[in-house]
A and B are shown apart, each in its own frame.
Chain A
């Protein structure tokens, strides 16, 4: 008989606790006042130099200049800017109505402070030829350069160079509170998985309509797909292409497919005795069935790529390169035969008793790379190249480049990391022998000179002419072999209005979104 009162008491307690939880949930972010975003990438730090991407996308962090969807610079915290005739002095006029999330006013000193700190950290600004950054007056910042450098504007638009309140940093320049200027401010920071931001009412531009936004890292693509299907997440980035068909059928979702300036490329060690002749590199390129990989492995027909940069980057994209010109280069077998390679009894190529054997490294951060690598392995084996695939960490590529041990690597290179691709091209192909994520042991004086000239070229017609010439050299010489370009797949719940995709992945445009009643 004593059992009943005990049970009743338990039930009472449970209802009390759940009531209290429900009450406490009402005051903070709930599904009715929060747009929830699910993505693949974890973050660990408040530092813009390390994890600025997430704060820029969640619109906490802003930069002096912004980039439109075509990659052109537009005003942001600087309302206008001008470059001197010798292209060595850049003057930025700041907006005068901007406040940081901690209430402080944004002035020239704050901008100089942020940029000086960014310059001391790892990032593109550190590599720019900057002589001095200083405040001319309260609303004018001047950057002087040791030599003309046209990509500076795009470099300043990179998330690592976000402008924060002076109070955001400690004495060592480490960020302690992320007081930025964006339409949202940090509400909850739980690395490495969860970031919740809250509307900032004193924002200088278009104020947000939705009060909160949350970013949750989903470990598995499958879980993220289910989050989209169940309506738990409003916007899910980085969908697995295999799940697209089932998502498109759902009434509550709209699926967006947007090309982004990221390309899967093979980096080759052009100094390797098997690969130093351009014919060997061409044969390896010809042996790849790009269409098959795009359709069968990546499930994105049409994403095959012959060039490292996508068609949207018109300065760098060659219009007259096609499968036909590719095929006219000859067959892989005949090219390799010209170099003295003969197939042995096992079907592998041999020359002077040496087997044509390559180690292809790739990394697991992007799961598609591993499957593409094994497809390439099979396709290369067909022409007699014995290929060993090693899946490792992304840092093995710059490391293998530096110590010379790398033979071939498959990687997903983001050419829009700096909105002006010249920034990445310079680091990949600019210096002698190439760069960590570009050419390796490959020297082309013409290309180096062209890229250096581009740094100083502001005339758009001339710029395009030189850029096209550079792209042609890379295409002809194949220091890297493009395989496929990326298409970002995003599922958006229909209760969200105003979603648009930024091909440079700088912003989620949360402040333009609204809830609609379904």
Chain B
């Protein structure tokens, strides 16, 4: 356990440095003049001109060499400073917190709802078999093959326009979270209920599981003592992967529901060449991925401690 945590810490530091450096190089090598891009985002398209760009260049010292700028960033980072946004002038940490906070809220809410949908359906599907299994398989394929914003639009039409139960878009109250979270959850559950089903089916058909029933345990006792843990292991690992890929992948949902998340924010920061915000967001996401992976590893170890004992 300690070895794993230490390894992960090393990984974290490498990720922070690597992600920051890579973003820096990529952003610097994008075409176009940074001063103009920043000026356009600061002052709006009606008010951007060469004077604004000159002012930005002077204020942000954009003429300095890339190496000097990189050195500034690195020394700031070592003091745990992420700097200020080039566009708004607000501290990057606040901006990232606002965006990432909303993305995480949406991601976790979506994940929890998806677990609530996927686990019972997957188990039921493995236990009952056909025809339920085939129906769920078909339904999952249909939902999975639909772009997520189609599901979102359908929900908006139904729940917001037809029944007026939830707001169409926006954020700030729990009601605003419902539709985007369910949209996300459905598209996630479409895959994860199949993973639960496969894992459960494998366990149900295994020799040890059948033996435990033969020796006289009830269905519930068998499931609790021999089923749950064995089924959970691949499922938890899969949810971990889903969560990580989801944080990047919810841009469409954020855009559809006007949700102020990191996907949308990052896209704007890239248009604006707002390097500190891009670096800050990429960094926080890198850190988050390492932490989430560690968390998933710890949970998996807790579910199945055999790996540690063997070491």
Genuine A/B complex: yes
Chain B positions within 8 Å of A121 at CB level: 55
A330 at the interface (CB under 8 A from B): no
Type the 1/0 row for B246-269, where 1 means its CB is closer than 8 Å to any CB of A. 000000001111101000110010
User: Closest approach, in angstroms, between the C-beta of B251 and any C-beta of chain A?
Assistant: 10
B174 at the interface (CB under 8 A from A): yes
User: Closest approach, in angstroms, between the C-beta of B280 and any C-beta of chain A?
Assistant: 15
Type the 1/0 row for B157-171, where 1 means its CB is closer than 8 Å to any CB of A. 100110010011111
Contact check, A417 vs B47: say whether CB atoms are below 8 A apart.
yes
| Sampled A-B contacts (25; CB under 8 Å) | A44-B41, A44-B87, A45-B90, A49-B43, A121-B55, A122-B47, A160-B47, A174-B89, A191-B90, A217-B258, A218-B170, A219-B258, A223-B156, A223-B256, A223-B257, A226-B160, A226-B169, A230-B168, A232-B169, A394-B48, A395-B39, A399-B32, A402-B50, A427-B49, A435-B49
Contact check, B37 vs A231: say whether CB atoms are below 8 A apart.
no
Q: Determine which of A47, A366, A436 lies in contact with B49 in the assembled complex, contact meaning CB atoms within 8 Å.
A: A436
Known: A50-B43, A396-B36, A398-B50. 18 other contacts (CB 8 A): A18-B174, A21-B173, A44-B88, A122-B43, A122-B47, A191-B98, A216-B169, A222-B153, A226-B161, A231-B164, A365-B45, A393-B36, A393-B37, A393-B271, A394-B40, A395-B48, A398-B48, A402-B50
Type the 1/0 row for A431-446, where 1 means its CB is closer than 8 Å to any CB of B. 0000111000000000
Binding site for B on A (CB under 8 A): 18, 21, 25, 41-42, 44-45, 47, 49-51, 53, 121-123, 126-127, 160, 174, 190-194, 216-220, 222-223, 226-227, 229-232, 363, 365-366, 392-396, 398-399, 401-402, 412, 414, 417, 427, 435-437
- How many Å lie between the Cα of A392 and that of B98 in the bound state? 28
Contact check, A45 vs B258: say whether CB atoms are below 8 A apart.
no
B52 at the interface (CB under 8 A from A): yes
B201 at the interface (CB under 8 A from A): no
Q: With A190-B98, A226-B168 given, is the CB distance from A127 to B51 under 8 Å?
A: yes
Q: Determine which of B50, B89, B157, B174 lies in contact with A21 in the assembled complex, contact meaning CB atoms within 8 Å.
A: B174
User: Closest approach, in angstroms, between the C-beta of A399 and any C-beta of chain B?
Assistant: 5
- How many Å lie between the Cα of A227 and that of B45 in the bound state? 26
Contact check, A395 vs B160: say whether CB atoms are below 8 A apart.
no
Q: With A50-B42, A393-B37, A396-B36 given, is the CB distance from A193 to B51 under 8 Å?
A: no
Q: With A122-B51, A436-B50 given, is the CB distance from A53 to B44 under 8 Å?
A: yes
Q: Determine which of A51, A123, A395, A427 lies in contact with B53 in the assembled complex, contact meaning CB atoms within 8 Å.
A: A395
B85 at the interface (CB under 8 A from A): yes
B46 at the interface (CB under 8 A from A): yes
B216 at the interface (CB under 8 A from A): no
- How many Å lie between the Cα of A190 and that of B88 in the bound state? 12
Of the listed residues A50, A53, A231, A427, the one surrounded by the most CB atoms of chain B closer than 10 A to its CB is A50
**Which residue from chain A places its CB closest to the CB of B41 in the assembled complex?**
A44
- How many Å lie between the Cα of A171 and that of B210 in the bound state? 76
**Which residue from chain B places its CB closest to the CB of A401 in the assembled complex?**
B50
**Which residue from chain A places its CB closest to the CB of B161 in the assembled complex?**
A230
B304 at the interface (CB under 8 A from A): no
Type the 1/0 row for B268-284, where 1 means its CB is closer than 8 Å to any CB of A. 10010000000000000
- How many Å lie between the Cα of A353 and that of B33 in the bound state? 34
Interface range on chain B (Cβ under 8 Å from partner): 35 or more
- How many Å lie between the Cα of A393 and that of B36 in the bound state? 9
Contact check, A191 vs B160: say whether CB atoms are below 8 A apart.
no
User: Closest approach, in angstroms, between the C-beta of B116 and any C-beta of chain A?
Assistant: 12
Interface of chain B residues 41 through 85 with chain A (CB within 8 A): 41-53, 55, 85
B307 at the interface (CB under 8 A from A): no
Type the 1/0 row for B120-150, where 1 means its CB is closer than 8 Å to any CB of A. 0000000000000000000000000000000
Contact check, B88 vs A191: say whether CB atoms are below 8 A apart.
yes
Chain B positions within 8 Å of A437 at CB level: 49
Q: Determine which of B44, B50, B258 lies in contact with A223 in the assembled complex, contact meaning CB atoms within 8 Å.
A: B258
- How many Å lie between the Cα of A191 and that of B174 in the bound state? 19
Contact check, A393 vs B32: say whether CB atoms are below 8 A apart.
yes
User: Closest approach, in angstroms, between the C-beta of A20 and any C-beta of chain B?
Assistant: 11
Q: With A47-B89, A193-B258 given, is the CB distance from A395 to B36 under 8 Å?
A: yes
Contact check, A193 vs B40: say whether CB atoms are below 8 A apart.
no
Q: Determine which of A25, A45, A218 lies in contact with B169 in the assembled complex, contact meaning CB atoms within 8 Å.
A: A218
User: Closest approach, in angstroms, between the C-beta of A427 and any C-beta of chain B?
Assistant: 7
Contact check, B49 vs A394: say whether CB atoms are below 8 A apart.
no
Q: Determine which of B49, B160, B265, B268 lies in contact with A230 in the assembled complex, contact meaning CB atoms within 8 Å.
A: B160
User: Closest approach, in angstroms, between the C-beta of A10 and any C-beta of chain B?
Assistant: 12
User: Closest approach, in angstroms, between the C-beta of A393 and any C-beta of chain B?
Assistant: 6
User: Closest approach, in angstroms, between the C-beta of A202 and any C-beta of chain B?
Assistant: 27
Contact check, A398 vs B271: say whether CB atoms are below 8 A apart.
no
**Which residue from chain A places its CB closest to the CB of B163 in the assembled complex?**
A230
Q: Determine which of A123, A193, A232, A412 lies in contact with B160 in the assembled complex, contact meaning CB atoms within 8 Å.
A: A232
**Which residue from chain A places its CB closest to the CB of B274 in the assembled complex?**
A44
- How many Å lie between the Cα of A194 and that of B99 in the bound state? 13
Contact check, A194 vs B172: say whether CB atoms are below 8 A apart.
yes
Contact check, A122 vs B85: say whether CB atoms are below 8 A apart.
no
Contact check, B45 vs A122: say whether CB atoms are below 8 A apart.
no
Please give me the 7 A-B residue pairs with the lowest Cβ-Cβ distance, nearest first.
A44-B88, A395-B36, A395-B40, A394-B45, A436-B49, A45-B88, A226-B168
Chain B positions within 8 Å of A45 at CB level: 42, 87-90
- How many Å lie between the Cα of A396 and that of B45 in the bound state? 10
- How many Å lie between the Cα of A204 and that of B171 in the bound state? 33
- How many Å lie between the Cα of A219 and that of B251 in the bound state? 11
Contact check, A216 vs B161: say whether CB atoms are below 8 A apart.
no
- How many Å lie between the Cα of A223 and that of B90 in the bound state? 28
Contact check, A399 vs B53: say whether CB atoms are below 8 A apart.
yes
Chain B positions within 8 Å of A412 at CB level: 45
Interface of chain B residues 219 through 255 with chain A (CB within 8 A): 254-255
Contact check, B260 vs A193: say whether CB atoms are below 8 A apart.
yes
- How many Å lie between the Cα of A365 and that of B37 in the bound state? 13
Chain A positions within 8 Å of B55 at CB level: 121-122
Contact check, B258 vs A218: say whether CB atoms are below 8 A apart.
yes
Chain B positions within 8 Å of A44 at CB level: 41-42, 85, 87-88, 90
- How many Å lie between the Cα of A192 and that of B36 in the bound state? 20
Chain B positions within 8 Å of A394 at CB level: 40, 45, 48
**Which residue from chain A places its CB closest to the CB of B152 in the assembled complex?**
A223
Chain A positions within 8 Å of B260 at CB level: 190, 192-194
User: Closest approach, in angstroms, between the C-beta of B97 and any C-beta of chain A?
Assistant: 12
- How many Å lie between the Cα of A468 and that of B151 in the bound state? 55
User: Closest approach, in angstroms, between the C-beta of A345 and any C-beta of chain B?
Assistant: 35
Q: Determine which of A25, A230, A393 lies in contact with B164 in the assembled complex, contact meaning CB atoms within 8 Å.
A: A230
- How many Å lie between the Cα of A363 and that of B41 in the bound state? 13
Chain B positions within 8 Å of A417 at CB level: 46-47
**Which residue from chain A places its CB closest to the CB of B38 in the assembled complex?**
A395
Contact check, A232 vs B255: say whether CB atoms are below 8 A apart.
no
Contact check, A219 vs B255: say whether CB atoms are below 8 A apart.
yes
**Which residue from chain A places its CB closest to the CB of B55 in the assembled complex?**
A122
User: Closest approach, in angstroms, between the C-beta of B133 and any C-beta of chain A?
Assistant: 26
Of the listed residues B88, B161, B254, the one surrounded by the most CB atoms of chain A closer than 10 A to its CB is B88
User: Closest approach, in angstroms, between the C-beta of A198 and any C-beta of chain B?
Assistant: 15
- How many Å lie between the Cα of A363 and that of B272 in the bound state? 13
Contact check, A398 vs B89: say whether CB atoms are below 8 A apart.
no
- How many Å lie between the Cα of A417 and that of B51 in the bound state? 17
Contact check, A227 vs B168: say whether CB atoms are below 8 A apart.
yes
Contact check, A398 vs B43: say whether CB atoms are below 8 A apart.
no
User: Closest approach, in angstroms, between the C-beta of A380 and any C-beta of chain B?
Assistant: 24
Contact check, A216 vs B40: say whether CB atoms are below 8 A apart.
no
- How many Å lie between the Cα of A18 and that of B175 in the bound state? 10
- How many Å lie between the Cα of A53 and that of B45 in the bound state? 12
